[in-house]
A and B are shown apart, each in its own frame.
Chain A
Amino acid sequence: GESVGLHLPTLSVQEGDNSIINCAYSNSASDYFIWYKQESGKGPQFIIDIRSNMDKRQGQRVTVLLNKTVKHLSLQIAATQPGDSAVYFCAETPYNFNKFYFGSGTKLNVKP
């Protein structure tokens, strides 16, 4: 499959701080990117997505940034809360959404 990887395997932040989780992808033809949150023993939950024709998209407390030049994706979480503690994955898919490939994941630990 395509190569989608993360720079940091774990990230510890203080409650209330902002978190930034990074992801690198290798397929320049990727058209659609998604960030997922996975809590222990559960399936991934959709957080936010972005198309390749955008470089930034904001949701509630989350922002995804896409830099196609260096094939880099990031997830910013504002005012991180204990409930944000989980493993975060980026995933990418080409334009036809035929397959989704996941990065290796970053575990986010939020310290109270």
Chain B
Amino acid sequence: GAVVSQHPSRVICKSGTSVKIECRSLDFQATTMFWYRQFPKKSLMLMATSNEGSKATYEQGVEKDKFLINHASLTLSTLTVTSAHPEDSSFYICSARDRLAGVGEQYFGPGTRLTVT
């Protein structure tokens, strides 16, 4: 089946530093990847849609300069949290859509737990 990986699975960083999270589709090509944020006991909030080779589309209220997204290839998208602050602590999840899939199914990564101290 389709597998999406994320790295790192957990990261702790100091306030003011930047953190990069990678999302990879391991056995399929993903023209579109999505980045979500999830607070404890809450739902997934769509942050941005990332299309290979073009700029990401951010949801309303998401700061594009703070959450930098790069989708350089059909199997890799990265999310960089710049100048992280404690309020950025969250569970970040990516998903990828298989361009060959007949329906709009998306495959989720295992998530990255970010803690900013």
Q: CB within 8 Å of B: which residues of A?
A: 1, 32, 34, 36, 41-46, 49, 51, 89, 93, 97-105
How far, in angstroms, from A44 to B103 measured CA to CA in the complex?
A: 17
A99/B44 in contact, CB under 8 A: no
Q: How many residues of B contact A (CB 8 A)?
A: 25
B59/A1 in contact, CB under 8 A: yes
A-B contact pairs, 21 of them (CB 8 A): A36-B108, A41-B111, A41-B113, A42-B110, A42-B111, A43-B93, A43-B110, A43-B111, A44-B44, A44-B93, A46-B105, A46-B107, A93-B104, A97-B103, A98-B49, A99-B49, A100-B95, A100-B106, A101-B46, A102-B36, A105-B42
Output the nearest chain B residue to A96 by Cβ-Cβ distance: B104
Contact with A along B79-111 (1 / 0, CB 8 A): 000000000000001010100000111111111
With both chains docked as a complex, state the minimum distance between the C-beta of A68 and any C-beta of chain B, in angstroms: 18
A32/B43 in contact, CB under 8 A: no
Kindly state whether residue B67 has any CB partner on chain A within 8 Å.
Answer: no
Which residues of chain B from 38 to 76 have a CB within 8 Å of any chain A CB? 42-46, 49, 59-60
Q: A43-B108, A43-B110 are in contact. Are A49 and B103 (CB under 8 A)?
A: yes
Please give, as numbers and ranges, the residues of chain B lying within 8 Å of A104 by CB-CB distance.
42-43
With both chains docked as a complex, state the minimum distance between the C-beta of B43 and any C-beta of chain A, in angstroms: 5
Q: CB within 8 Å of A: which residues of B?
A: 4, 6, 34, 36, 42-46, 49, 59-60, 93, 95, 97, 103-111, 113
A100/B34 in contact, CB under 8 A: yes
With both chains docked as a complex, state the minimum distance between the C-beta of A43 and any C-beta of chain B, in angstroms: 4
B111/A99 in contact, CB under 8 A: no
A44/B108 in contact, CB under 8 A: yes
A102/B44 in contact, CB under 8 A: yes
Most buried by A among B4, B104, B108, B109: B104
Please give, as numbers and ranges, the residues of chain B lying within 8 Å of A51 by CB-CB distance.
103
Please give, as numbers and ranges, the residues of chain A lying within 8 Å of B4 by CB-CB distance.
43
Q: A42-B110, A43-B110, A43-B111 are in contact. Are A97 and B42 (CB under 8 A)?
A: no
A32/B93 in contact, CB under 8 A: no
